[in-house]
Structure formats: structure tokens, C-alpha cells
Amino acid sequence: MNSLWVLLWWIVIVVLGYWVYARHVAKTVFDVDGGRATPAKMYMDGVDFMPTNKNVLYGFQLNSIAGAAPIIGPIVALQWGWLPALLWLGLGVFFIGWLHDFSSTMISIRNDGETFGAISYKLISPRARKILLTFVYFYLLLIACAFGHVVTKGVSGDAALPLPLLVVIGVAFLVGHLIYKAKTNIIVTTVIAIVLIFFSIWVGTVVKMSFSYNTILVCVLVFGYFSSILPVWRFIQPYNYASVYVVYFGIIAGVIGIIIGHKPMTLPALTSWSIGMGPLWPLLFVTIACGAISGWHSLVCSTATSRQIENELDVRPVSGGAMFAEFTISIIAVIVCATAFSDSAAYIAQVKNPVGIFVGGLGGAITAIGLPISYAKATAGMMIIILALTIVNLVFRFMKVATAELMGDVVSIAKNPHVATVVALIITFVLVKTGTWLYIWILFGGANQLMASFALLLVTLFLVQKAKNYKVAIYPMFFMYATTVCALLYMTFFKLIPGALAGKKVFGNSFAAAVALLLVVLALILAYDGWKAFQKYKSGAAAVPAEAAKAKA
């Protein structure tokens, strides 16, 4: 089948999903009102609460949520065939993904811009906030391991990437200094950064540098340490700014290349229900996370976005629209990879290195615009490494804060940022070295989707409390919850524990199994509390849960 037919699927989903279904739900269920004051207008502190133009906010939202997951997930999921991947991407974003992002923003707006921690405290129970925080800590750990391996494997497996990556890091420090200290014009700074980065990609294809996996892993962790400790303006922010141009160029060049090349999909549409990794349900639905639905977005929407929306009518284009845009990135990833191989054996041989697969696929597509294949491949490699490294940077920073929040009262040294960061780095190192990456990716997907089901639980409780039609949220919530819990249990009892008992990567598999079981236990506790809260609101009891009212008193 020609890959351009996939664009037809994309058009149908986006047009019907965004302009028909999303508009209908926003109007009838959430009753969006352009005249209602939003927290941005009510509080307007000029930093967190700041009414912002919807187009600016859309760009910022897309930059915040789009990472490497919408690319890597579909690459790994093609093991079941491209048809199930496309179906889950399309139907997932249509019924669940956009609704999750949109409703997360809406319930935060309707609760004075409060975060999910505060909303879960109010709507579910006081202990829900603590459970959520514990859950988020281990979720962040899985993210760090999953993406840490992607970066390490990608950079150590391609000799053209280390040099440009070093240059990008150096340019990040330079850009930070030029913008914040030297007060240089932003356009001049941008031009310098772009020229240096793109030139270094070319130099990297000529001057190749090979490093071992362990060396790169240590470098990634050192990089993570500085990302966590240094002020945001010194490194993370200029790094995100300078490197995003590579990503944008890769996406645009890739799309043009796909349209010009319009190659046929050479991988099979459907391989088998059950493959080496496991059965299609529940594993496909957690392997592809971002692109269909991602719990991470609810955290971004409920903290940053909801406080900058100036009009409720902007929520659908900003939150919902950005989710459809991320769906688009996943579609590009599916097309790029499904057209890159002559047969599925070649694909299966590389599936443990998704960077290699993506480099081959997108690199080949980019050559359609006239770039040499070596430069095209290096650009594609840098694109995905940059996306993954951006996430790794942020995750260690959040883990530092989460450690202080969780354990700071009990173990006072946990409040020390250096100690908290080093603890997170050590745990990440151990799990990356001793764990099986494919299993960790699925655990990450499971945790991510479980986070999404928690967000949908909050949305359901909010709608029940307001006597609105909660069915649009509760059915997706049940589906996500059941699928992710089953996926985590399947991985624990059919892959991780048997692997450990058979003597394969004993420590890594055992640790990963323990983390998975902990996440399931936390999910069950939260589900129980959520069920009690649901019963209370359904029967029309007090608007504020009794435990929260008592705790306040």
C-alpha cells in the first residue's frame, strides 16, 4: 500500500476529531463559555498567570508536549504491523487523547488554575496527592531509564553523532550567556546557534568519533546532573531553544520527503496477535503512548497551560489541537519506518535501537530534498537524540524536587539538591545497565498511560460533581486503566519475574518488576478512593469530600 493513503487516514481523524467531535464535546459537556473569566485574567501575576494569545500558547504547548515518545513508540509497535499502530493512533487520539488534554486544562481552569495535586486532594481524598506524587517519582524514573538508553544506544551506535552533540551542548551554554548575560540580540544569537549546529552535523559525518556504550551512559548522566543543578537559564532553556531548530528542520524535511518520495509500506500490515514481546492487547496500547494519549500532557496542561489561557474558547485549539499535532508526528514516524525496510527481518534486527531505525527511515526521506544521505541520516539522528535528551534533562530536575518533596521531612539530606540528584542518577544507571530496555519501555508506557487514566478519573469526578455527562470520560478511563494495569501485570509475571528467575539480568528485572507492582498497588488504592468519591458525587452528596473538609478543619 502506498504511504500516501495513510495521509487520508490522518485527514479523516483530524477533521472529524477536531472540528466535529471535539467541538461537540466542548460545547455540550464542558459548556465552554468565552465570557467566563479564566484564572489568567483573574490573577494575572505576569509570570504564571498571564493571559496569552492562543497561537503563541499553541506553539508553546506543542513544544512542551512533543518529545521522542511519539516517534519511538510507533517504531517499536510496528512489530505487530503498521495497521494496528495506525488504528490505535487514530482512534486513540480521536476518542481519548484530545479529550484527555482538553479536559485536564478545563478542570484546572474551573478550579482556579490549581494543579492535579490540589485537585486530587479536593476531589478524591487527601492521600490521593501523596499517592500521585509517589507514582510520579517512579514514573519519572522509568522515563529517565527509557530515554537514557535511547540516547546512549543512539550516540554510541552512530559515530557521526557524538561531535554534533558536544557542539550542541557547547552552543547551549553560549546561547545562555549571550541572551541572559551579554544581552545579545536574539536573532543574531539564533543565527550563530543554527550555523554552528548545522555545520557541526556536517563535520560529524566527516570526523567520526566512536565511544563505548558505558562511556556515553556516564556522559549522559553527568549531563543530567548539570541539567538538574544549574539554573534553568544557564543550560536547559538555551539548550531547548538552540536545539529545537534541528527538530523542526527534520520534521519539515521529512514531511516533504515523504510526499515527494511516496514510497510503498514494505513492512507487513499485521504480523501476529502475539509476538515475542507479548500480545497485541494490552501491550500495543502502552507501547504507543504519546501520539494517541499521554499522561504527561495532563501535568503540563494543568500547570502551565491552564494558567495562561485567556478565553475558554482557546482551550480546544491549544490543548486539543496540540494533541492532534503530536498525532501527526507519530503518523510521520510510522510512515518513515514502515517504508524504510525491504522486509520485516531487517526491521526486527534493529528494533532494540529505535534511533537506528528512525535514522535510516527519516534520513532516506530527507534525501528527497537533495541533501546527501550521510548528512540526512546525521540530521535525523540528531533530531531524535535532541528530543530524548531534552526529556532526560527535565526528568532529573523533577526527580530532584520529587525526592525532596517525598522524603525531605523524614530524611533531611534528601532536601539537598546534589544528594537528591545523585540518588536519582545512581538508580537510573543501575536500571539502565541491568534492565532490558524493551521491557522498561513498556513499563514507561504503562506508567504514562496510567497517569492518563488518573487524569481521566479526575475529569470524571469533576463532571459527576457538576452533574454533566461523564460518560465521555469514564469509558476511556476504564479502558486506559484496565489496559495499563493488565500491561504492567503481564510484564511483571510473564517477562520480568520469569526472566529474573531464569538468571537473565536478575537485578534489573527484579527491580523493574518491583517498580511495576508498586505502580499497580498505587493505582488500585487510587481507584478505590476514586470509586468512593464517585459514589458520593453520584448520590448528590456534599460538593467537597468529607475527608478533605475534616482535614481543612
In DSSP notation, 75-133 reads HHHGGG-HHHHHHHHHHHIIIIIHHHHHHHHHHHHHTTT--HHHHHHHHT-HHHHHHHH
Site for another protein in 41-80 (CB under 8 A): 45-48, 50, 52-53, 55-63
In DSSP notation, 324-387 reads HHHHHHHHHHHHHHHTT-SSHHHHHHHTT-HHHHHHHHHHHHHGGGT--HHHHHHHHHHHHHHH
User: Judged by CB under 8 A, which of 3, 125, 227, 302 binds another protein?
Assistant: 302
The three cell numbers locating residue 192: 550563530
Residue 232 makes contact with another protein by CB under 8 A: yes
User: Judged by CB under 8 A, which of 275, 313, 401, 422 binds another protein?
Assistant: 401
Using CB under 8 A, count the residues that bind another protein: 44
User: Judged by CB under 8 A, which of 5, 199, 233, 273 binds another protein?
Assistant: 233
Residues 6+ positions from 491 with CB-CB distance below 8 Å: 278, 283, 439, 442, 443, 446, 516
Q: Which is nearer to another protein, 245 or 281 (CB)?
A: 245
Q: HSE-up of 12 (CA within 13 Å, CB side)?
A: 10
- CA–CA separation, 426 vs 417, rounded Å? 14
Encoded one letter per residue, x for contact with another protein by CB under 8 A and - for no contact, window 165-204 reads --------------xx-----x------------------
Task: Tell me phi and psi for residue 264, to 5 degrees.
Answer: -80, 155
| In the complex, least distance from residue 383 CB atom to another protein, rounded to whole angstroms | 15
What's the distance, CA 60 to chain centroid?
Answer: 15
Residue 138 makes contact with another protein by CB under 8 A: no
Residue 211 makes contact with another protein by CB under 8 A: no
Residue 396 makes contact with another protein by CB under 8 A: no
Closest to 304 (Cα-Cα) out of 35, 47, 53, 6: 47
| In the complex, least distance from residue 105 CB atom to another protein, rounded to whole angstroms | 14
Of the candidate spans 9-17, 110-118, 268-276, 521-529, the one that interacts with another protein by CB under 8 A turns out to be 110-118
Residue 310 makes contact with another protein by CB under 8 A: no
Q: Which is nearer to another protein, 240 or 460 (CB)?
A: 240
User: Judged by CB under 8 A, which of 83, 87, 91, 244 binds another protein?
Assistant: 244
Closest to 387 (Cα-Cα) out of 307, 291, 316: 291
Residue 115 makes contact with another protein by CB under 8 A: yes
User: Judged by CB under 8 A, which of 300, 380, 386, 414 binds another protein?
Assistant: 300
**What 3-state class would DSSP assign to 33?**
coil
Q: Which is nearer to another protein, 404 or 473 (CB)?
A: 404
Binding site for another protein (CB under 8 A): 45-48, 50, 52-53, 55-63, 115-118, 129, 133, 136, 179-180, 186, 232-233, 237-238, 240-241, 244-245, 248, 299-300, 302-304, 398, 401-402, 405
